[in-house]
Amino acid sequence: MQKNQEIILEITDYTAEGSGVGKYEGMAVFVPETAVGDTIKALILKVKKAYAFGKVLEIIKPSSNRCSCDCGVFSKCGGCAFRHINYEAEKTFKENKVYEAVKRIGGVDMKPQPIIYDKDLRYRNKVQYPVNFDGKAGFYAFHSHRIVPINDCLLQPIEFKGIISVIENWIKKNSISVYNEENGKGLIRHIFIRKAEKTNEIMVALVINSDDISQKDELINELLKENSNIKSIGLNINKNRTNVILGNLSKTIYGEDYIVDILCGIKVRLSLLSFYQVNRDMAEKLYNKAREYAKPENKTVLDLYCGAGTIGLSMAREAKKVIGVEIIPEAVKDAEFNAKNNGIKNARFICGDAAKAAEKLAEENIKTDVVIVDPPRKGCSEELIKTIAYKFSPDRVVYVSCDPATLARDIKLFSENGYKLIEYTPADLFPRTSHVETAALLIKG
Ligand code: SAH
């Protein structure tokens, strides 16, 4: 196979990122925006030793899973992987993705429970738009930092569009400079908007490469005129030459430092830096599944990687006691506030690394019946898994994961240390992207 060669290819599988794959003369050829069941004419763009990349020239026979694309920037934007196939096919892809990881990496050949899901449009409650040099907000192109301007993203709440327009107009009218990654100069880096779905409260913030902005009052007035649900307007200061979007320091220029949402019957305070699942309705379904697996009634529950405490607090009313561990101090403060604000007295929170805090709790002879882990993508450390297995030895471990590959690796580690996978359920918190969450139940013995 050579670069610029045209080939006929049948798409037979997807990569974990959702690109179509076909085999040509024994070699895997990756072609984005194709669907399993397509026969295509592809142009080969790049050839490596064992695989190649191509792009579609013509769809000769479309897959029955194809649907018409409802987004004008799908081919350019790096946000969605699946606007060209129907949602049923996407859910099947996600169930398979988790199943294959659990089988291949985890060494357990067990089918998942049916994926849990909700709406596939406008489900996100948060956006962090970079701004281009024309002052237009957008998303990065796939695997790149080129900004694709976006008028209305179908994953975002409809009212974000008007808020973005107000900020774009304010930037233009006042000739406010925009941050340049190449030389570290310019003011506006990102626009941050978060909506509390249950209360409709909205937080707007500008991420800036300075300590303050001018023309603040004009911006505040225009924003409040646009949307009366805006309860907090802030600045986040990030002067670092880094890809990390948010800096550590925020200041409020209008209203409160936070907005409040309701999740699993718990009032949750959300400050700018707090982690909160971007899909509220699905987070509730996922936490309900975690609760079903945890059976927390009259138990001591250890909630590791607890963020603002949401999973543990959602079980606190039935549980005997909840102990949460989280590394970000602001999130721990939110968790403590959330417990108090909801009249929950049997929960305590520790700020620190999950593995170290677990070790310390074990030394203090704290007994737990259920351990919940909800780590970031890299999963748990072997050290933590051993502490859980040998020092706490709970009856149940509930693993909530945002990465099937590290979940599967950790299922294997748990199984080598006395815990058996009983059941697992994928949950679609990120429809139209290739990401999938999973809740898994492991039992001792
Ligand atoms: N359970 C929470 C948060 C899950 S996201 C929820 O559902 O909302 C993962 C969390 O782990 C983040 O809040 C992150 O700050 C935290 N974290 C990352 N590394 C950690 C570590 N080493 N120890 C403890 N917490 C950590």
* Pocket flag, ligand 1, residue 309 (CB < 6 Å): no
Shortest-distance atom of ligand 1 to CA 306: 1
Q: What is the pLDDT of residues 383-392, one digit of tens each?
A: 999 999 999 9
pLDDT of residue 144: 87
DSSP states of 130-148 as a string? Answer: EB-TTS-BEEEBTTS--EE
Best of 311, 327, 330 to mutate for ligand 1, by most ligand atoms within 8 A of CB? Answer: 327
Decide: pTM greater than 0.85.
yes
Average pLDDT over the chain, rounded to whole? 96
Establish whether residue 147 lines the binding site of ligand 1, counting it when its CB lies within 6 angstroms of any ligand atom. Answer: no
**Helix H or strand E encompassing 267:** strand 266-271
Q: Is 279 in the pocket of ligand 1 (CB under 6 A)?
A: no
Q: Distance from the CA of 51 to the center of ligand 1, in angstroms?
A: 36
**Predicted pLDDT at 77:** 86
Could you read off the pLDDT of 151-206 as tens digits, one per residue? 899 999 999 999 999 999 999 999 999 999 999 999 999 999 999 999 999 999 99
Strand locations in 160-257 (E): 188-195, 202-208, 230-237, 249-255
Low-confidence residues of the chain: pLDDT under 70:
none
Q: How far is the CA of 93 from the centre of ligand 1 (A)?
A: 27
Which ligand 1 atom is the nearest neighbour of the CA of 402?
A: 5
Mutate to test the pocket of ligand 1, among 261, 271, 273, 305 (most ligand atoms within 8 A of CB): 305
- Give tens-digit pLDDT for 127-141: 999 999 999 999 998
CA–CA gap between residue 438 and residue 442 (Å, rounded): 13
The residues that are catalytic are 402
Instruction: In whole angstroms, give the CA distance from residue 15 to residue 279.
Output: 24
From 321, 349, 317, 347, select the one nearest 333 (Cα to Cα): 349
